[in-house]
A and B are shown apart, each in its own frame.
Chain A
Amino acid sequence: MTEIQEDIGTEPSIGRHSVGRRRFLGYLIGGTTVVAAAELGLLSGQAAAKIPSAPQVFDAYDLSDLLTHAAQPTSSLITVTINEDGTASFALPRAEVGQGITTAAAMIIAEELDLPLKKIDVTLAPARPELIWNQITGGSNTIHAMYTPIRVAAAVAKKTLLEAAAAQLGGVVDELETRDGVITDALGNSLTYGELTAQAASPDTKAVEVGLKDEATFTLLGKPTNRIDALDAVTGKKVYTTDLDVKGALPTMVCRAPTLNGKPTKVLNAAEVKAMPGVTHVAMVPTGVAVRARTFGQCIDGVRALRVDWEDGPVVGESDQDILSGVKAAELPMPALPNTPLAKTIAYDFTFWFRSNSPMDTNSAIADVRSDRAEIWSGLKNPIVTQQQIALELGLTPDKVKVNVMQAGGSFGRRLFFDGAMEAAQVSKAMGVPVKLMWHRSDDARVGRAHPLATSRVRAMHAAGEVLAFQQSHTAVEMDLRHGFGEIVTALAADLPAGLGNLGYAQTIFALTTGIPYDFGVLLQTLNETDTRFNTGAMRNVYSPDVRTANELVVDQLAKAMRKDPLAFRLEFCRNERVRGVLKKAREVAQWGKPMPAGTAQGIAVHTEYKGASACVVEIDCRPETVGRRVRDAVTGPRVMKATMVTDVGQVINPRGVEAQMQGAINDGIAMTLTSSLHLVDGHFEEASWDNYFYTRQWNTPPEIEVVIMDSAEPPGGVGEAGVAPTAAAVACAYARATGKVPTEFPINHRDPLAFEPKPRTPPIPPSPTDGLRWTY
C-alpha cells in the first residue's frame, strides 16, 4: 500500500552510492538517557500527503488534528534508546507477523551503533495516531521505508555517545573507536554505552546533524542472520494475543449465523447456556452471540448449545456460479483487436475463485472496555485506524482507547483489518467485563476475509514477430481496502457511498502494482470491481498473483505462436534490466530447457514489484502416479517437484530472511494455482477446517527449493510478498506445458468434486473430538 508513497516521492534516491555522503538531521530527545530520534517520514512520509487517489483527504482531515500535529514537531519521531545496561531499545511502528522485520530492524540498529545484535531489543509500538500514514504494515514496504530513518536515529545516538566519551576521556571524537558497545581511545581507555548514556543525555531536545556509516564497512547487514525471536519460537515462549494474560480477560467465542454475514435477532436459550459449566456470560453483538467462559473448550460447548434466530446474510441462496455471473456482468468492454491472417489475436478468459488468507493464529483480540476508557491487544497492521474506529464504536475519544500491537501468528493480508479487535470491543462492552476473544478455525475460514473472486481477460495481438498490443481487463468482487492508509481520514475516503471511494483506491493500487515488464506495443490494464457483500481484503501480493498468472500464461501462448522458447521469448521482449538479470540467472541455475519426461514440464514466470524483480522456474509432475497419490483427507494432484526463485530485492539486509520469505511465497503460489479455494454454496462458504481449505502441505510442497539472491546496488526493496505472483504464474505455465492444456480456472481443482464432507452450519463450529488418544505415534 505504501508503495504508492515511494512512487510519487520527490526525495533523492537512497542508492548505496549516494547515501554515504549525505548528511541527515535527527534529534536528541531531552531526558535522562540517550534517546535518539529521526523522522519516520524522512524519505517517504511527506510524500504520503500526495497520495493521488485519496479523494479530498485534506477536506476530511480535521483542522484541529492538523494543528495538534503541527504543534508537536517531534511527536512523529521514531526513537532508539540507549539503556544503562548497555542495550538499545526500539519500538517498531509496524506489525511483526512472521516476515522478519523485527530482526531486520535490529540488524540495522546493531550495524549503525556497533552493538552486538543480542543487545538490541525491538518491540512493537502501540497505536501512535501522530504517525498518521506511517503506521501501516503493508505492501512489503517496512524496510524500504524505514532503512534510512532507523539508521539516522542510531547514528544520532552513536554520535552523542562518542561526544560524551570524548569529553570524559579528554580526547576528540575522531580518535575514538566503537566496537560492540564499547568506546575506546588511542591509549586504550574505554567506556561502555551503558556507562555513558546518562551523561550523554540532554535535558532538552535538540537537532543533530549526522552522517551515516560507510556501507562498505558493514559487518552485519547483508550477512545471513537468524531471527531474533527464534529461541522464543522453538521453546513456546513467544507470546501471541491468545497467550497474553490480561486480568479478568476470560476466553470468549462467538456463535455465528448459518449464512455468510447473517445477523442474530434473538437468543432463545441464553439462560440455559449461561448455566453450563464454566460459562460466565452470554451476550448478543452485531456479528453473533458471544459466550465467555473459564476455558475456550467451554466456550465451544456453549456456542454449540446456543439456539439463535438469525436474519439471513446478504448472499443467502447464492453460490459460486451466481457470484461469477455477477462479476462477468460487470466486465467492461475491451477494445476489439483484429484477428486476420496477418495480425493474430490470442484471447483468454480466466477465473480466479475466492481464496482465504487464513493465518494459523485466528482472528483474536483482548479487550477491556470500561465506561470511560478501553484497552485492546491484537495483531494489527493498522493500529491507528483500529483505535479510531473502535473509539467511534464505543463513543470514546481516540485518546481513551489504547491499542497494543501483538506479535501475530501470520497475516497474509488478514491483519490489515481489525475484525477481531472490533468484535472483542463490542463483546467486552456488552458484557461489561474484559474478554479474550478467539475465532474458531471454522469462523476464520468461513467468515474471515478472503481474496476476492475475479476474472481476467487477456487479449494479445501479434504480427510479423512483434506483439502489437496487450490488453488485460480484470474484474473482481470488491477487494475491501477500507483500512485506507492506516488512519481514519483515508479510511473514510475509501468508504464513500456505493463503493466509489474503495474503487478509487483499488484502481490506484492495481495500477501501481501490476505492470507488464515486456515491450508489447500498446499496453492496457484495467480493473473494475463489483459486489460488496463479502468479507474481503488484500491477500499476500494483492492483485498480482492472479494478474500475473493470467498474463504470463498468454505470454507463453505468444511464444508458442511465434515458435519461440518461453524463456528466450521473455528475454527478447523484456523491457526491464532487473527482470532481464533474474531471467538470465534463472535460466542458468534452473537448467532451463533440460529434457523432461512426458507429463512433466518446466514453467517460467517473472514479476516486478516492490522495487525489485523475481523470476521463478518450477518443475511440475502431472503424471497419473503423482496426481493419483492418496493421502487421507487431502488434495494431492500435480506436484511441483522443484522450484527455483531468483530474486533481486535491492540491497539485502538479511539474506536468510529473504530466502525464508521466498520459500514461503513459493508455497503460497503453489496453493493459489493448484489447491486452495473457498466454495460458496447456498449462501455460505463450505470450508471450515484445514482439511477443507487446502493450503500447501508437506505432501504438496516441492522436495527441492532453491533461492538465489542477486547482488544489487539498488536500495532495499520489499521482500515478503515478492515471490507469490511469479510462483503462481510459473506453476500455471508449467501445468499448461506438461498437460498441453492451458488452465483457465484457479485453483485448477476448484470444480472437482469437493474433497471433503462439508461441516454443518448449525451449530457453526464443529464439536471438539474425544478420540485423540487413538492417533498417538
Chain B
Amino acid sequence: MPEQTFILNGEPVTVDVEDDVRLLWVLRDILGVKGPKYGCGINVCKACTSHINGKAFNPCAVPVGKLDAKDEITTIEGLPGEVPESKRGEHGLHPMQESWLDKDVAQCGYCQPGQIMAAVALVKKVRAEGRTITDADLDGIRNICRCGTYTRIREAIREGEQRM
C-alpha cells in the first residue's frame, strides 16, 4: 500500500493508504481527526472545509495521492496555530473562533468547523485584494447551515475580521 506523507496541523504525518482515497476519509477514518465533517461528500455543503497551504479547500474532493510531502493541511484542530500566540484570544483560539464564541454562533454545531475555516480564508482573501468584507462576500459563502444560524455567522465574520 502506498505511503502518503504531508504536514497536518504543523506535524509531518505518513499514512499507508491507497492514492485515490479522499483526504477527508484519511483524516477522519485513519488519523482520527474528526473536526472536518461529512455533509455531502461532493464538495457542495462545505462542512469539511479545511486549509491547504493557508487556503480553503474541501478534503472530500481531494485524493490523498495528490498531496505533496510539503503540503500543509490545517483542520479546525490546528487553526489556532495559524496565528501567533499574541493573536490568540481568551480561550487560546484563533480570533475567528473567539468571535464565534462571542456571538454564540453554533446551534447543532455540525457545520461550524467548516464555517470557521471558510470565514478565515475569506477574510484573508479580501485582505489580499486590499479590501474588507462586504455583504456580497457574505452572500457568496456556500457553506450550508441547516440550523439557519446565518445571521450570527455574518456577525461573527465581521467581528473576526476586526480581530484578525
Contacts and interface: CB of A to CB of B under 8 A. Distances in A.
Contact of A772 (B39, B57, B77): B57
Contacts of A668: 148
Interface residues of A, number: 78
A438 B39 CA distance: 11
B139 interface: yes
A225 to B, nearest CB: 8
B113 A236 contact: yes
Contacts of A239: 34
Contacts of A278: 18, 21
B107 A100 contact: yes
B125 A777 contact: yes
11 contacts: A226-B104, A227-B104, A234-B112, A235-B93, A295-B17, A295-B30, A297-B21, A359-B108, A699-B140, A701-B151, A773-B62
Nearest to B59: A772
A236 B76 contact: yes
A699 B143 CA distance: 11
B77 A768 contact: no
A296 to B, nearest CB: 5
Could you say which of A358, A631, A656, A698 has the most chain B C-beta atoms within 10 Å of its C-beta? A698
Interface stretch (A105-113, A458-466, A658-666): A658-666
Contacts of A689: 40, 42, 44
Contacts of A407: 108
Interface in A696-732: 696-699, 701-703, 705
Given A230-B101, A234-B93, A99 B107 contact: yes
Given A410-B110, A698-B142, 8 more contacts: A98-B107, A230-B109, A240-B37, A295-B29, A360-B111, A663-B152, A689-B40, A690-B45
B112 to A, nearest CB: 5
A297 B25 contact: yes
B40 to A, nearest CB: 4
Contacts of B45: 360, 441, 690
B26 interface: yes
A235 B76 contact: yes
B76 to A, nearest CB: 4
Interface in A360-404: 360-362
Nearest to B80: A235
A116 interface: no
Contact of B39 (A236, A360, A771): A360
A515 interface: no
Contacts of B93: 234-235
A517 interface: no
Interface string B80-113: 0000000000010100010011001111111111
Nearest to A660: B107
A294 B18 CA distance: 11
Contact of B101 (A226, A251, A277, A362): A226
Contacts of A229: 106, 109
B58 A772 contact: yes
Given A234-B100, A412-B146, A766 B42 contact: yes
Interface string A79-114: 000000000000000000111100000000000000
Nearest to A701: B150
Interface in B14-48: 17-18, 20-26, 28-30, 32, 34-45, 47
A97 B108 contact: yes
A361 B17 CA distance: 26
Contacts of B11: none
A664 to B, nearest CB: 4
A521 B29 CA distance: 62
Contact of A238 (B17, B41, B91, B109): B109
Contacts, number: 228
B138 interface: yes
A563 B107 CA distance: 43
A237 B105 CA distance: 16
B41 A441 contact: yes
B30 to A, nearest CB: 7
Interface of A: 97-100, 226-227, 229-240, 242-243, 245, 251, 277-278, 294-298, 300-301, 358-362, 407-410, 412, 438, 440-441, 631, 633, 656, 660-661, 663-668, 689-691, 695-699, 701-703, 705, 765-766, 768-773, 775-777
A251 B40 CA distance: 16
B121 interface: yes
Given A359-B146, A664-B147, A775 B58 contact: yes
B60 interface: yes
A697 B141 CA distance: 8
Contacts of A656: 104
A89 B15 CA distance: 40
B129 to A, nearest CB: 11
Nearest to A358: B146
B29 A440 contact: no
A660 B52 CA distance: 32
Nearest to A445: B40
Nearest to A667: B148
A278 to B, nearest CB: 7
A691 B108 contact: no
A664 B149 contact: yes
Given A769-B60, A770-B61, A227 B106 contact: yes
B28 to A, nearest CB: 8
Contact of A703 (B39, B52, B122, B135): B135
A567 to B, nearest CB: 24
Given A234-B113, A240-B110, A294 B29 contact: yes
Given A230-B104, A441-B42, A699 B139 contact: yes
Q: Which 10 A-B pairs have the closest CB atoms?
A: A236-B35, A98-B108, A409-B110, A667-B148, A772-B61, A233-B109, A295-B25, A664-B148, A297-B25, A233-B106
A296 B38 contact: yes
A408 B37 CA distance: 13
Contact of A360 (B34, B47, B105): B47
A232 B18 CA distance: 32
A696 B34 contact: no
B108 A663 contact: no
A83 B33 CA distance: 32
Nearest to B76: A236
A366 to B, nearest CB: 13
Contacts of B42: 441, 689, 766, 768-769
Contacts of B147: 98, 410, 664
B133 interface: no
A294 B148 contact: no
B116 interface: yes
A360 B144 contact: yes
